[in-house]
Homo-oligomer: A and B are copies of this chain.
């Protein structure tokens, strides 16, 4: 990967690792952060209910997507930009940090004013105009790997954000496209240690989109922690089967709570300095 040799994302030494601090949450080397929430927000009532359950289970960051980029124009497309008021409500009702996806520069001001962390989804990893605009907000950015991006391409996409002066980038492995169809994508678990040896940026894993099956999410989550990930982004829904989208890959609340307990025990054994729940 010669092309990385002069980039800002390149890891120079182990004490050079990026750590992102946001109020009581620390993301990066030695810490383990769980981000959880529904695939896309569906209603005020459900959003608040899920957020409170997620907070109770120990997660510190709430996934709250207002837009849902869908393969077909005829399926549910999400709440839309009016949902910014929902972010305000969630800030009032909980102590969670809010994380949301940005699809277009047109929405950047509105979202950046309320969200604590911005997410650039897999489909937009190559949308370099968006990457530069998001970088300029100086907000922490979760950058999801495109399902057909090599690690080098993934890091060079991150470089678009760092090149405008924002190094608060969190890389998210979420599965790559392969011939296997039993899982929705193939979780490239070795991307985690590989990225940790190539770059100083935090690396998290999305076990929900990579598996596409809730029955496999706990195993994927534990594997990510064991492989050295700095956190997880997990889809949680109080009633997955009634979800407008991605229901089959969302955990219900009791399963999520059980998983959080198991992950917390593993995090201690593996010497993590903090686990989401421990900090509160």
| Partner-B contacts on A (CB < 8 A) | 1, 3, 6-7, 69-74, 103-106, 123-124, 126-129, 146-148, 150-153, 156-157, 159-160, 163, 176-183, 186-194, 197, 210-211, 215-216, 219-220, 222-228, 265-266, 269
Bound complex: CA of A265 vs CA of B188, how far in Å?
25
Is A180's CB under 8 angstroms from B160's CB? Answer: no
A227: chain B residues at CB < 8 Å are 219-220, 222-223, 226
The answer to whether A72 and B159 touch (CB under 8 A), given A189-B187, A190-B220, is: yes
A150: chain B residues at CB < 8 Å are 179-182
From B128, B182, B269, A1 is in contact (CB under 8 Å) with: B182
A220: chain B residues at CB < 8 Å are 189-190, 193, 227
A186: chain B residues at CB < 8 Å are 176, 178, 186, 188, 190
From B156, B189, B192, B266, A72 is in contact (CB under 8 Å) with: B156
A124: chain B residues at CB < 8 Å are 126-127
* Number of copies of this chain that the complex holds: 4
Bound complex: CA of A148 vs CA of B106, how far in Å?
27
From B70, B128, B176, B189, A69 is in contact (CB under 8 Å) with: B128
Closest chain B CB from A67 CB (angstroms): 9
A156: chain B residues at CB < 8 Å are 71-73
Closest chain B CB from A63 CB (angstroms): 20
Ranked nearest first, the 4 interchain pairs of A and B with the lowest CB-CB distance are A148-B148, A226-B226, A123-B126, A193-B219
Bound complex: CA of A221 vs CA of B191, how far in Å?
14
Is B211's CB under 8 angstroms from A219's CB? Answer: no
A1: chain B residues at CB < 8 Å are 182
List 20 contacting pairs A-B, 8 Å CB cutoff, sorted by A.
A1-B182, A69-B128, A71-B153, A73-B156, A103-B128, A104-B129, A105-B106, A123-B127, A124-B126, A127-B127, A150-B179, A151-B180, A176-B180, A183-B194, A186-B188, A190-B216, A192-B219, A219-B226, A222-B226, A222-B227
From B71, B159, B178, A179 is in contact (CB under 8 Å) with: B178
Residue of B nearest to A164 (CB): B73
A123: chain B residues at CB < 8 Å are 126-127
Bound complex: CA of A50 vs CA of B113, how far in Å?
48
Is A178's CB under 8 angstroms from B176's CB? Answer: yes
A180: chain B residues at CB < 8 Å are 150-151, 176, 188, 191
The answer to whether A197 and B215 touch (CB under 8 A), given A182-B1, A225-B226, is: yes
Bound complex: CA of A104 vs CA of B220, how far in Å?
36
Is B160's CB under 8 angstroms from A73's CB? Answer: yes
Closest chain B CB from A248 CB (angstroms): 14
Choose among A129, A176, A181, A190 the residue with the greatest number of B CB atoms under 10 Å from its CB: A190
